[in-house]
Amino acid sequence: MTELFLMPGKLSLADLEKLYWEQPRFRLSPACHSRVTMSAAHVQTAVNGEVAVYGVNTGFGKLAQTRIDSGQVETLQRNLVLSHCCGVGEPLESPETRLMIALKLASLGRGASGVSLRIIQLLEDMLARDVLPVIPGQGSVGASGDLAPLAHMAAVMIGEGEAYWEGERVSGARALESAGLQPITLQAKEGLALLNGTQFSTALALAGLFKVRRAAAASLVTGAMSVDAAMGSIAPFRAEIHQLRGQPGQIEVARHLRSLLDGSDIVEAHQGENCLKVQDPYCLRCQPQVLGACFDVLDQATGVLLREANAVTDNPLVLQNGEIISGGNFHAQPVAFAADQIAMAACEIGSIAERRLALLTDPGLSDLPAFLTSKPGLNSGFMIAHVTAAALVSENKQRAYPASVDTIPTSANQEDHVSMAAHGARRLFAMSDNLNRIIGIELLAAAQGIDFRMPLRTSPPLSQVHGLLRKTVSVLENDRYMASDIDAAAALIARDAVALTAGIVRSESPSVSQN
């Protein structure tokens, strides 16, 4: 397997997606090593000095006024890690754990955290040899960094905690030994640098973003299929309309819809004088306005998370001139807001898809057979599939309440305003799973509606998607067990097969450039 070399501060969205979806072997570029080494030397100078430096020769949080003797530095750092291992709940899966560690490496590699190269090399070796710390999903409020989750990562590095090794959950010490690695003794500032930071929240928010972006792209396709199945008008997608408003996402969505429906026999059969419809319901007609706004919000969140992935977010920070300054880069408010934006977009994408599904199953709106079955009454068709979609939409509405507006004081009021970024990011997994199923049900229904329009055929790209679905899910002739159909359709959404088959490729969102 080819090993990637990543430059801290220069990670692209493509890099992050590759790290998440493909989990390749990688190391930081050696070009960052000199700055890391210099930063560690500055910390050692501070240890031997007389000036109190937070986290270097003092206690932590409310105990920052307590001076620590230089002979107790190693004990201080070890105690810090162990005392913070208070995470609870279901642990992260491998892709999220690996992405979190990759983000921590990228942050440390900027050379402003005061750690030695051996810290970076051990984390790189752990990933290369598949020693993955067990990271509980609950316990962070996103304030002084994601303290508890990152402590569980650091615990394995010192031979404590738990890790997955060859699929088995074992002690951190056993996992390191089995992989031929040695635990390390943390020096001044190193434990603090590992625990402070937003990498847990950012990794989960990025993972949620990647999943929702796939579903959003698929919803363009299923939305176009629903237009064809309902014999909707394509006039609302004309470029002139959207140029007059100027919203970039709206313009993009309209362009995709025009392209997806181009060449459809169904559209051709009811255009112009043959089309008796004056206006379609909003769920068809206003797709550019609604989905476009969702795309714009997702792009904005992408920019925030891309910058955060390249940021230094621990504390205190070691400047190039040797100063060690205590600040608040660990506060995850930007991540919390971004996670809330992703949640709201996911909610709206599913909401308008459910309305299109409701239209297709209602003969009064679509002129298709009731509930998309040729024998209504004897068969219920898509009646309860729509109910399931409605249930999932409502669940996502309940989950979409912003986490970022919540706060609770911790650490004896030293950390008196917190972000709740971890909460906002973690809920995106359940929301994206729901969204995949909502879009998957629309895919099933729209394909069924297009089948009813035969011998008229849909457009070439939509025909490709229709054929992809029919390889695993046959036409619904009579009622059958539908849960597996929904799972199969949702799986196509989750692995990006629907968007890619239709030729939907979204451009990369804002890049990042840092020194």
| Domain end among 147, 176, 197 | 197
The answer to whether position 392 is within a domain reads yes
Do 229 and 121 share a domain, yes or no?
no
Q: Across residues 389-399, what is the average pLDDT? A: 98
Give the Å distances, CA to CA, from 399 to 130, 217, 338, 432, 434: 33, 22, 15, 11, 11
| Domain end among 197, 228, 244 | 197
pLDDT at residue 327 in the model: 92
The answer to whether position 282 is within a domain reads yes
Do 378 and 470 share a domain, yes or no?
yes
Do 306 and 415 share a domain, yes or no?
yes
pLDDT at residue 277 in the model: 66
What pLDDT band is residue 378 in, cutting at 50, 70 and 90?
very high
pLDDT at residue 62 in the model: 61
Do 262 and 225 share a domain, yes or no?
yes
Do 361 and 462 share a domain, yes or no?
yes
| Domain end among 143, 172, 197 | 197
What pLDDT band is residue 510 in, cutting at 50, 70 and 90?
very low
pTM: 0.95
Task: Out of 54, 164, 282, 401, pick the active-site residue.
Answer: 54
The answer to whether position 368 is within a domain reads yes
The answer to whether position 99 is within a domain reads yes
Residue with the larger pLDDT of the pair 408 and 347: 347
Do 247 and 113 share a domain, yes or no?
no
Domain count, the chain: 2
State the DSSP string of 407-467. ---BTTTTB-----HHHHHHHHHHHHHHHHHHHHHHHHHHHHHHHHTTTS---HHHHHHHH
| pLDDT score of 329 more than 70 | yes
| pLDDT score of 65 more than 70 | no
The answer to whether position 2 is within a domain reads no
Average pLDDT along the chain: 93
Do 387 and 436 share a domain, yes or no?
yes
Listed in sequence order, the residues at least 6 apart from 178 whose beta carbon sits closer than 8 Å to its beta carbon are 165, 166, 170
What pLDDT band is residue 320 in, cutting at 50, 70 and 90?
very high
pLDDT digits (tens, 9 = 90+) for 475-488: 999 999 999 999 99
Do 143 and 269 share a domain, yes or no?
no
The answer to whether position 3 is within a domain reads no
Domain containing residue 368: CATH number: 1.20.200.10
CB 286 within 8 A of CB 235: no
The answer to whether position 510 is within a domain reads no
CB 100 within 8 A of CB 108: no
Do 211 and 187 share a domain, yes or no?
no
481 is catalytic: no
Domain containing residue 67: CATH number: 1.10.275.10
Do 193 and 260 share a domain, yes or no?
no
| DSSP three-state, residue 181 | coil
What pLDDT band is residue 511 in, cutting at 50, 70 and 90?
very low
Residue with the larger pLDDT of the pair 107 and 76: 107
| pLDDT score of 221 more than 90 | yes
Q: Across residues 210-226, what is the average pLDDT? A: 98
DSSP summary character for residue 22: T
Full domain range(s) for residue 449? 204-501
Do 119 and 209 share a domain, yes or no?
no
The answer to whether position 1 is within a domain reads no
Do 328 and 191 share a domain, yes or no?
no
pLDDT at residue 515 in the model: 39
